[in-house]
Amino acid sequence: MRFDIISVLPALLESPFAHSILQRAQKKGLSEIHVHNLRDYSTHKQKSVDDYQYGGGSGMVMSIEPFANCMDYLMSERDYDEIIFMTPDGETLKQTIANELSSKKNIIILCGHYKGIDQRIRDLYVTREISIGDYVLSGGELPAAVLVDTVVRLLPGVLNDETSALSDSFQGELLDAPVYTRPADWKGHRVPDILLSGNEAAINNWRHDQALERTQKRRPDLLK
Ligand code: ADE
């Protein structure tokens, strides 16, 4: 699966994809992540990518031309399944959206800044607008990294059994049960006896009960 991320701050996107599972997915050839510097597509002398807002108002607006140049170039190279704009007024990212996107082949992600991007980019190019939550960040880069992470870890072969995505919170309707590792007794705080019993069926029942209790307490809205 291929992601092309268009950003005015590409350095912000270096680290998130250079470690751990996301790095491994790229090394294994399961995902490709290409970050494009929006300024490289500006035809302006100073390589500017924004301008004053028509009608007045504070804050610069990102211009259509550099985004259009970059997307036209990318789309001349291959077909894209989605062009996603990261924005706080988009649909809120949920596991179901990540599952859906993980079946796509090529995705472009646009990162905005300043006051926003010229509406014509959204009208003419964007196929989907996604928010990572009801709060405003200074740009779309961190949201783009969050989106790519949720999708790439679902691609077949990216996670091994140990880190299987199927048991994640939100993949079913229950949150995860609590987990423990050694020591069994830390300063008198003991791991629940059931987990040391070796009785697989009893452990599974306990985990299910714990997951249910945690979901009822923290996220009753998830229970249908
Ligand atoms: N850009 C700024 N804030 C954002 C958010 N919450 N989600 C997606 N993109 C954003």
The DSSP result for 74-112, as a single string, is HHHHS--SEEEEEEEEEEEP-HHHHHHHTT-SEEEEEE-
CB within 8 Å of 3: residues ≥ 6 apart: 31, 32, 33, 34, 107, 108, 109, 148
Give the residue, out of 111, 128, 136, 141, with the most ligand 1 atoms within 8 A of its beta carbon, to mutate for a pocket test.
Answer: 136
Q: pLDDT value at position 171?
A: 79
| The CATH homologous superfamily of the domain defined by 167-223 | tRNA(m1g37)methyltransferase, domain 2 (1.10.1270.20)
Rounded to whole angstroms, the Cα distance separating 102 from 2 reads 11
The pTM score is 0.94
Angle at 19 between CA 14 and CA 22, to 5 degrees: 90
Give the residue, out of 85, 131, 146, 148, with the most ligand 1 atoms within 8 A of its beta carbon, to mutate for a pocket test.
Answer: 131
The closest residue, in CA terms, to atom 5 on ligand 1 is 88
The closest residue, in CA terms, to atom 7 on ligand 1 is 131
Among 88, 84, 146, CA closest to 113: 88
Sheet of 116-117: strand order equals 50-51, 61-62, 116-117
Report how far ligand 1's centroid is from the alpha carbon of 192 (Å). 40
Report how far ligand 1's centroid is from the alpha carbon of 31 (Å). 23
Q: pLDDT value at position 169?
A: 81
Q: pLDDT value at position 34?
A: 98
Per domain, the residue ranges of the chain are 2-152, 167-223
Q: pLDDT value at position 135?
A: 97
The architecture in CATH of the region 2-152 reads 3-Layer(aba) Sandwich (3.40)
Q: pLDDT value at position 160?
A: 83
Helices marked H in the chain — which ranges?
A: 20-27, 64-77, 95-101, 119-124, 141-152, 200-218
Q: pLDDT value at position 173?
A: 86
Residue 59 buriedness (CB in 10 A; 0-12 / 13-18 / 19+): exposed
The DSSP bridge partners found for residue 110 are 6, 85
The closest residue, in CA terms, to atom 9 on ligand 1 is 87
Count helices and strands in the chain by DSSP H and E runs? 6, 10
Each residue's pLDDT expressed in tens, for the chain with a length of 224 residues: 999 999 999 999 999 999 999 999 999 999 999 999 999 999 999 999 999 999 999 999 999 999 999 999 999 999 999 999 999 999 999 999 999 999 999 999 999 998 899 999 999 999 999 999 999 999 999 999 999 999 999 999 999 865 577 768 887 889 999 999 999 999 999 999 999 999 999 999 999 999 999 999 999 999 98
Among 31, 8, 27, CA closest to 154: 31
Q: Which residue has the tokens 């004053």?
A: 52
Pocket of ligand 1 (CB under 6 A): 86-88, 131-133, 135-137, 140, 143
Q: pLDDT value at position 224?
A: 81
